[in-house]
Amino acid sequence: MIKVRDLKKSFYNQTVLDGLDLDIEEGKITVIIGKSGAGKSVLLKNIIGLLKPDSGSIMFYDKDITKVSYEELKKIRLNFGVLFQDAALFDSYNVFNNVAFPLIERKIVKSRKQAEKIVKETLKLVELEGIENKMPSELSGGMKKRVGLARAIVTKPKIIFFDEPTTGLDPITSMSIACLIKDMQTKLKTTCFIISHDLALTFKIADNIGFLHNGKIIEFGDKNTIINSQNPIVREFLESYFAGEKND
């Protein structure tokens, strides 16, 4: 679905992405992992067009989003859903208005009744029912993530982007979010692209895993490929994770 080739991005004198190549396979869950500050968020922002790379290409099917006009980019983004790290809910909107926002903004619905039906169905999909009138301040961290996910999928996008979906959540809630993402992806038959530091989530749901280091994907493959990697950087990262698991 998306092919990233020779992507480069620097800020002042600091190179963040340095000739990065990546394939995001349609209908699969791709997770990018790596150390803090490796550039995972920068990669995501480039792919969805919030940042413009210094060079390289990002092909969404037959369109290079680095070269299209802003109007064309807006049309391409209609295929995208995004769950931001902190869910990014509108504090002054209740749950219904938060989830319905993309439907109304993109003029997908013509009446409130139609919006209510779609929002209700979507909240059921993320295992939240009957909370349409609640405000974000009344929700737990896990519930906010689920509402954010509902908003991301309400327009039935071709691909959903997740920015650290389990940050700030306890292990049990994190695993419930991981299972929800997998279940949702299976039901909707959509494509998911996730950046995460959470290896428990990664190994639970990923079809493909990429390890980002020094501006490049240095290892890519399924769970077994990553676990059995002989790359010393990947091994060090994994060993620190498994050592923590053992100590717990």
Is residue 150 domain-shared with residue 171, that is, in the same domain? no
Q: What band does 6 get if pLDDT is binned at 50, 70 and 90? A: very high
- What's the average model confidence in pLDDT over 38-66? 93
Domain count, the chain: 2
Q: Which of 156, 175, 191 is the last residue of a domain?
A: 156
Is residue 170 domain-shared with residue 197, that is, in the same domain? yes
Q: What band does 76 get if pLDDT is binned at 50, 70 and 90? A: very high
Does pLDDT of 218 surpass 70?
Answer: yes
Is residue 74 domain-shared with residue 165, that is, in the same domain? yes
Is residue 17 domain-shared with residue 128, that is, in the same domain? no
pLDDT of residue 129: 86
pLDDT of residue 58: 96
User: Comparing C-alpha atoms, which of 83, 81, 33, 77 is closest to residue 58?
Assistant: 77
Kindly write down the DSSP assignment for every residue of 135-196, as one continuous string. Answer: -GGGS-HHHHHHHHHHHHHTT--SEEEEESTTTT--HHHHHHHHHHHHHHHHHHT-EEEEE-
Is residue 56 domain-shared with residue 137, that is, in the same domain? no
- What's the average model confidence in pLDDT over 35-54? 91
Does pLDDT of 90 surpass 90?
Answer: no
User: Comparing C-alpha atoms, which of 132, 150, 141 is closest to residue 93?
Assistant: 132
The CATH number for 240's domain is 3.40.50.300
Does 86 reside within a domain? no
Distances (CA, A) of 246 to 45, 116, 241: 35, 47, 9
pLDDT of residue 245: 56
Does 16 reside within a domain? yes
Is residue 67 domain-shared with residue 186, that is, in the same domain? yes
pLDDT, tens only, 131-174: 999 999 998 888 888 899 899 989 899 999 999 888 878 888 88
Does pLDDT of 2 surpass 60?
Answer: yes
Q: What is the mean pLDDT of the chain?
A: 90
Is residue 132 domain-shared with residue 175, that is, in the same domain? no
Q: What band does 59 get if pLDDT is binned at 50, 70 and 90? A: very high
What global pTM score does this model have?
Answer: 0.91
Is residue 33 domain-shared with residue 140, that is, in the same domain? no
Which domain range does residue 51 map to?
Answer: 2-79+158-247
